[in-house]
Structures are given as C-alpha cells and as structure tokens.
Structure 1
Amino acid sequence: MQMTESRRVKMDNVIYANFGSKQRVSTPDDRTQVINKSRHKQFSPAGTRTVMLTEKNADSGRRSRGEQYYRNGNVTGMTVLEGRVECTVAGSQNEPFVTTVTFPYRSSEKLREAYAAIADTPNGLRLVRDGHLTSSMLDHLVGSPDESIYFDCTCPDRSLVCKHAVASAYHVAEKMTANPGLILDIRGQGMAGLEALIRTYHTKVETEPEDNDSFWNGRELPALPDPKIAPAIDDSDINYLHKALRMVSYTSLEQLRAVSDIEDMYEILVANHPDNQQVYEEEDTD
C-alpha cells in the first residue's frame, strides 16, 4: 500500500496545523509604532501630555530604560507638592533615588484665567472631572507643547532627563489617568476647590451684570495684597540650588556641605545687616 504524504505544513519537528497565519513585526520602526500605539491608549490626555513634555528632552536610550523601569514597578512612591511631584525610584544602588517632577510655572493670575476658561466651556467641569481635558485646558494646567517639564534627580546622571525621570513621568501619567483631579492638586486647587470657584464665578456673572457706567469708567479695584515678608533663602526653591551645585560637586556629600555653607553665610550676612542689628538690640534690651 502506497503511503500518501501529509499535506500538513511541517517545520523542524513541529507540525503547524489550524494555528492560523503568524504575524510578526518586521522592523524596529514597526515595533516602535506598536509600542507607541499601546502607550497612547493607556493614558488620559493629561497623562499623555506629561509623557510628551518629558520624552521630548530625553534620548532614545533613556526613554527605553525609563519606560522599562516604570513597567517593572521601580517607582515606589509619589508625593504631590505645589507645582511639582516627588517620586521615589529604586535604582542600582541600595538607597532609592528621589526625582522631582516640576511642571511649567503658572502664576495665580494665569491659573484664574484657566479656571475661568473651564467655567465658560460647555460642560467644562464634567470634562475635567472625567479627565477629558481640551487642548486649551492641557496648555494651561499641564503645559503647552513648546514648554518642558523639568526634573531634578539624586542619581549621578547629569542629563536633563534621566531614566528615573522618564519612569517618574510615566508613573505620574498613570496616576493622572486613574485620578483626573491630580493635575488640579498639583496646581494647588483640587477638584473641590475648582467646583467652588466655578459656582462662585457663575453666581458673580449672574448677579453682577455689566452696566454702561462700569463699562466706561471701570469698577473699584480690590485692595492690594499684603504679602508676607520671608528671607530670600527660605522663600526660594532649594532644589534649584542643589541642582546648580551638583554641576561643580564630585559627590553628593560635597553638594550638601556647599548648600550648608551657603545657608550659614546667608545667616551671617543677614545678622550683620543694620536693620537686623537694631532688632537684635531691642530684643536684648527687653
């Protein structure tokens, strides 16, 4: 009896039958498109904008390693501050690195304009609550495409955006997607505060219609603020001083010593100022 050869496809010792056709990503460019496609799907508009403003200043190697750090769960903690976020990232050393994610600066006036624009947008509050920020809202709250997010990391890498910064940006983007109000917390307002502002804004518009006299002559200006006077070194951002000294310090210990010396010199200069000497003399007399 003559044996008939099987029509099933064979490859090495494996018989491929009823598995369907195999699909492969043939080139590195194709693989990049697949990764980017899945990446943009997982984040909200605010998260996507955060990643975009980060990766524009990072090279491909740090982008790739930072994304891998994020996916491996190396970002172990996050603290929200006004205008910035601090992330703890486990790296190659025993102690984790601390990465500060600083969003583009917005003055109080600019933020009020942003909140007023949200109030004037149809269903603006619901869009923010659901995370569906418009392009204009993203420009005001996160940052416009021509701006950058700035990073300060305790790692030895002196580049503008290290792999820990990329991982931190991905982590912040994930949290923004899960909690759309996070960007408002970063801007010092919060979702509850925004809702109260919008209610006040609509009430003010309804109860204070513009009349002819106020249009031409204006209204009474509000009282000027009475800002609290604080020492310059306390009122400034100490992170920028650390960042500047890192460029001329060989070790983190030297950097900390330099900052401490600057603080001591500042205290001596302030103490020797005639105005302060008079205050000290009055305190001694009392």
Structure 2
Amino acid sequence: MRGRVLMSDEAQGASRRPRMDNVIYANFGAKTQVTSTEPEKGEQTGRIRQKRFSPTGNRVVQLTLKNADSGRIRRGEDYYRNDNVTGVQVLEGRISCKVAGSQNEPFDVLMTFPYRGSEKLRAAYATIAETPNGMKLVREGRLTSAMLDHLIGDPDESIYFDCTCPDRTLVCKHAVATAYVVAEKMTANPSMVLDMRGQGMAGLEALINTFHTRGEEEPETNESFWEGHTLPDLPNPKVAAAIDDSDINYLHRALRLVSYTSLEQLRAVSDIEDMYEILTSTHPSQRIDDDDADEE
C-alpha cells in the first residue's frame, strides 16, 4: 500500500463536506426557536428593583421605567452601578447631568418633570399644610401619594428626557441611569424635590406658616370646636454652639460694616466671643454638665 494514506470514516466524511474560502459548512442539527424570557416593557430588572428608595425616589423611577424597554433598563442599571453619572445639577422643573458612555466625551442628559404652574404648586403646598405633620413628612422624605402627584407627577404622567446620545428612543440607557441617581439623591436629600420646584425647604416652611396663620384667623364654628384637629408634633431643635460651629469670618465681615477701624472690628469680635463664653458657661444645662464632670 505504497503511497496511500488510510483515512478514518470521520476524516473521509469531513473531506466530503462543501468547502468555500477554507471554511467548512456543516449542519449541526435542526434549528430551534428560542422564546424570549425578558421582562415586558417598563418592568424593572436586576438588583436595582430591590434597592429601597424613598417614596419620592420610587416615583421618579416609576415615571421613567414605564417608557423604557428591558434591554435599556438593564444597561442603564449597569451604568448606575458603575457610577457613570456625574455632574448632577438641579434646575427649575428639570435636572441635568452627564453620563459617561461609549464615546470619549460624556453625554448630556436633561430630565424634565411634568409642568406645574403656580396654581398647582400652591395646591401642593396647601396639601402639605393640611396634612398632619406635613412638614415633618417632607423633611424626612416620606411624601404622601397626593404630595407626590403634585410635586413629582401622578402615575399617568411621564418624565421626559433629552440625551445627546445617538439613541432616539424616549428613554435611553443613559436616562435610566440618570433616573436611578436622581432617585438616590432625593432619598438622601429630601429637600431636592423642593429645590427642583423652585421653592426650597426654608421657603416652604415660611409659606406653610402663612397657611396656618390664615387658618387661625378664620372663626371657628361649634362643630369644628368640639371635633378638634390633629395637633402636630412639638419641634425638637438641635442644640449647637453658635460661634464654635459657625464661620468666624462672617462675623468679622458683618462688624466691618459698622466699625470705623480694623481695631474696633477686632475689639467688637472679641467682646462678642467673651459674652458668648459667659452666657454659655452660666447656662443651667452647662452647669449640670460641669457638676457631672466634677463628680466623675
């Protein structure tokens, strides 16, 4: 059997397969149809759905994901977990940020909340004023459904996004990542939703006081007198040292306006510091602390 090379059945079968451009084309079995098991549009995916945001943050995510498909939600969650969202800036009715994507320069994302005119905003603040412990709920980020409907948007509304990426869909992956970051920041800082509506926490407290004052001026009827109202919780202010916890430069700047010379300014600041030390050292709570320290 000189010059002959014996070939196995497998090798002979392989040699009979059609060849084209050094590529062997073979049928590896019947094709099977794969059914998609991905969640439907708007359904949250991944571990983010188990993350606990405040009611405000949850409403932001809800109004965003309702217009996103599962693939973009999944990729947006990855961007959120990888800290791709930076430069969050709160505007009136909008929030802008930058999202690092596949290109060298980050994409700009503009998040626009449902429009609220002055009348609707006053209705929102009236709702807070009429709710027992309403300001406490706002400060703690535990807004009621009615408050969320006014300040964020009701479930039938949507949050709109404008992204500089090539994806022209309503909610791209960069928008999903932005929504999660905004939800996280609103959970950590409840006053952010008020800043977004152009009010702020201090301004809202002053406005709520006017609502209460106006209600007190209204004459009470016999029915309202006997039924009564739910009283809010008493305030519990934090005790802090005024001068120690403040920037002394602001005091110098204020006294500079009423002082003729720098020497008078320094003397005035020194006198204020001395008076502060005397008042705090003779305060009853301070004496109790000193007595406890002496006993130890």
Q: Given the two structures, how large is their TM-score scaled by the length of structure 1? A: 0.60
Matched, 1:107 2:128: no
Amino acid paired to 1:163: K
Amino acid paired to 1:134: T
SS at match of 2:95: strand
Matched, 1:150 2:160: yes
Once the two structures are superposed, the pairs formed by residues 209-228 of structure 1 within 5 Å of their partners are 209=219
**RMSD of aligned C-alpha atoms?**
1.9
SS at match of 2:103: coil
Q: How many residues align?
A: 181
Q: How far is 1:200 from its partner?
A: 1.1
Counterpart in the other structure of 2:262: none
Work out the CA distance in 1 between the residues paired with 2:200 and 2:156: 26
Counterpart in the other structure of 1:167: 177
SS at match of 1:79: strand
Work out the CA distance in 1 between the residues paired with 2:164 and 2:107: 6
Counterpart in the other structure of 1:138: 148
Q: How far is 1:38 from its partner?
A: 1.7
| Structure 1: gaps spanning 5 or more residues | 1-26, 212-286
Amino acid paired to 1:76: T
| Structure 2: gaps spanning 5 or more residues | 1-36, 222-296
Amino acid paired to 1:77: G
Once the two structures are superposed, the pairs formed by residues 54-133 of structure 1 within 5 Å of their partners are 54-133=64-143
1:202 to 212, 217, 221: 212
1:48 to 48, 52, 58: 58
Q: How far is 1:206 from its partner?
A: 1.3
In 2 relative to 1, CA 89–33 (structure 1 residues): closer, same or farther, beyond 3 Å?
closer
CA deviations over 1:65-107 (Å, ceiling 9, x no partner): 0011011000011010000000111111111111000001111
Q: How far is 1:28 from its partner?
A: 7.7
SS at match of 1:146: coil
Q: Given the two structures, how large is their TM-score scaled by the length of structure 2? A: 0.58
Q: How far is 1:204 from its partner?
A: 1.6
Work out the CA distance in 2 between the residues paired with 1:37 and 1:200: 40
SS at match of 2:96: strand
Once the two structures are superposed, the pairs formed by residues 2-41 of structure 1 within 5 Å of their partners are 35=47, 38-39=50-51, 41=52
Higher helix share: 1
Work out the CA distance in 1 between the residues paired with 2:205 and 2:164: 37
Amino acid paired to 2:156: D
Amino acid paired to 1:169: A
Identity value in percent: 71
CA deviations over 1:110-142 (Å, ceiling 9, x no partner): 000110110000000000100011111111111
In 2 relative to 1, CA 77–36 (structure 1 residues): closer, same or farther, beyond 3 Å?
closer
Amino acid paired to 1:153: C
Counterpart in the other structure of 2:242: none
